[in-house]
Amino acid sequence: MTTTTDYLIIGAGSMGLATADWLAHHTDSSVQLLDAHSPPHTQGAHHGETRLLRQAYGEGSSYVPLAKRALALWKALEAESGESLFLPTGVINIGPPEAPFIGQVEASARQHGLALDSLKGDQVARRWPGWALDATMNGGFEAEAGVLYVERILACWRARVERSPNVALETGAQVMQLARREQGGWEAICADGRRFTAERVLLSAGQHIAPLMAELGVDLPLTRVRKTFAWYDCDARYAVDNFPGFSLNTPSSGVYYGFPDIDGAGFKMGRHDSGQPLPPGEAMAEFGEFEDDVSELQQVVDRYFPGVGALRFGAVCQYIRTSDEHFLIDEPLPGLIVAGGFSGHGFKFASALGEALGIWLAEQRRLPELALFEMARFASPGRRPA
């Protein structure tokens, strides 16, 4: 059986559902969403309950306009849905003053007029006694930042698109091949034989993007990495009213992130850098199966968080990274847009990127903000987001 629609979205995770939601509310076009599983699920990069949202951006000031637009859209979605989707805990960025990330956070705030409270480490520790820091570290606190409820957001988007008469979501639809059609457009062929065609396609299927594009002769610099994160017992210093979300660059160059105790879940922390590369489709080892899974987090807990106690449980997830760790969003073949490489810092932008990708699909117009993420930068190493 072949189903034909105006637009086809392969991968109904963060970016796929965000794009479908925008199309459902801004066009009368028919949209087909495909996902190998049933979102929200644990097979992509969107599980784990929470993500940080910050605007004074250490990954590059070019991201700030997208972050500001995303925050406005998150608040609009929250108001429209009547659900609690964003928790304004504030976020603090901690690191040695010479760390490039800390310098870029401060530069982003200056360039875009963002409110950022700059503190020395001992001031941070006095303001939030859950930190054990001295004056050799710097902190930048962004009061308007906070925490997104990621799985709650995906469930909200799914409910909204399923109410739309113009959008269809097929779960359990593993796309095995993408092919050009002789008469124009694209055809997606699923493992169970179902076929879906459209003139324009968004491929936002995480670990499956690179293999599908390789069959079309397009080599994408995307790597899949196994990552870990964990929850811990903690005292009242880490209650949501007493402690912000954080990113932490240690003097040894480790990069960590974390959350206060939200709804009794405990103190949550993960490591952003490092991880174990693995090929698409390979099962991830469970938390604790690698020797460093516990120790790489525990050493940071012991050093910086005096009120954090025993490990409750850990989990694994996957990052899909580009070689420079910036996003990859482009149209490498006519009518076929790819959106990937988001893992680790992409979800906070999903509301704004869903809007931008919807416009690209429907109007064949790329917003200027997306030019940062085109494939050409990999052929010209000097071109990269800054």
What are the counts of helices (DSSP H) followed by strands (DSSP E) for the chain? 8, 20
Spatial separation of the C-alpha atoms in residues 269 and 314, rounded to whole Å? 10
Spatial separation of the C-alpha atoms in residues 20 and 355, rounded to whole Å? 9
How does DSSP classify residue 238? G
Between the CA of residue 31 and those of 39, 81, 220, what are the distances in Å? 17, 21, 26
Q: Are 96 and 154 in contact (CB under 8 A)?
A: no
Alpha helices, DSSP H, located in 27-99: 64-81
**Using only C-alpha atoms, what is the Rg of the chain?**
21
DSSP assignment string, 311-363: EEEEEEEEEEEETTSS-EEEEEETTEEEEE--TTT-GGGHHHHHHHHHHHHHH
Q: At 128, list the tokens.
A: 């939030």
Query: So which residues are the catalytic ones?
Result: 47, 50-51, 268, 272, 317, 348
Q: At 298, list the tokens.
A: 């525990």
Residue among 154, 209, 216, 204 nearest 34 (CA): 204
Spatial separation of the C-alpha atoms in residues 182 and 184, rounded to whole Å? 5
